[in-house]
Amino acid sequence: MTDLQHPAPQRVCPICKAPTELNNEAFPFCGPRCRLIDLNQWMEGRYTVTRPLDPQDIDEGQTGDANAAARP
Ligand SMILES: [Zn+2]
């Protein structure tokens, strides 16, 4: 069981799926442009990710529910 039976799979850019090489300066991307695109996507995903709930958030939510229930 060695990888010799299977040659290394073709490396492709995760952004545009273009073939890329290990010695590519932008590896694993095909070029600096796709590397930037991936970076932007990563940052956007990080900024839009839901932050973990804090106990304070739960307390505020319960207070809001209580007020809503107290309304006629
Ligand atoms: Zn690319």
Task: Convert the pLDDT of each residue in 10-58 to its tens digit.
Answer: 889 999 999 999 999 999 999 999 999 999 998 888 777 566 767 777 6
Separation of alpha carbons 37 and 47, rounded Å: 15
3-class DSSP state of 60: helix
**pLDDT at res. 10:** 81
Q: What share of the chain is helix, strand, coil (3-state, %, to 5)?
A: 50, 5, 45
The parent domain of residue 26 ranges over 3-52
Residue 60 lies in a domain: no
- CATH number of 47's domain: 3.30.50.10
Distance 43 CA to ligand 1 centre (A): 18
Q: How far is the CA of 64 from the centre of ligand 1 (A)?
A: 48
Q: What is the pTM of this model?
A: 0.51
Residue 8 lies inside a defined structural domain of this protein? yes
Confidence of residue 66 (pLDDT cuts 50, 70, 90): low
Separation CA 19–CA 40 (nearest Å): 21
Ligand 1 centroid – CA 71 distance (Å) = 57
Task: Classify burial at 49, counting beta carbons within 10 Å of its beta carbon; exposed 0-12, middle 13-18, buried 19 or more.
Answer: exposed
What is the whole-number distance in angstroms between the Cα of residue 47 and the centre of ligand 1? 23
Please give the residue that has the higher pLDDT: either 51 or 63: 51
pLDDT at residue 71 greater than cutoff 70 = no
* Overall number of domains in the chain: 1
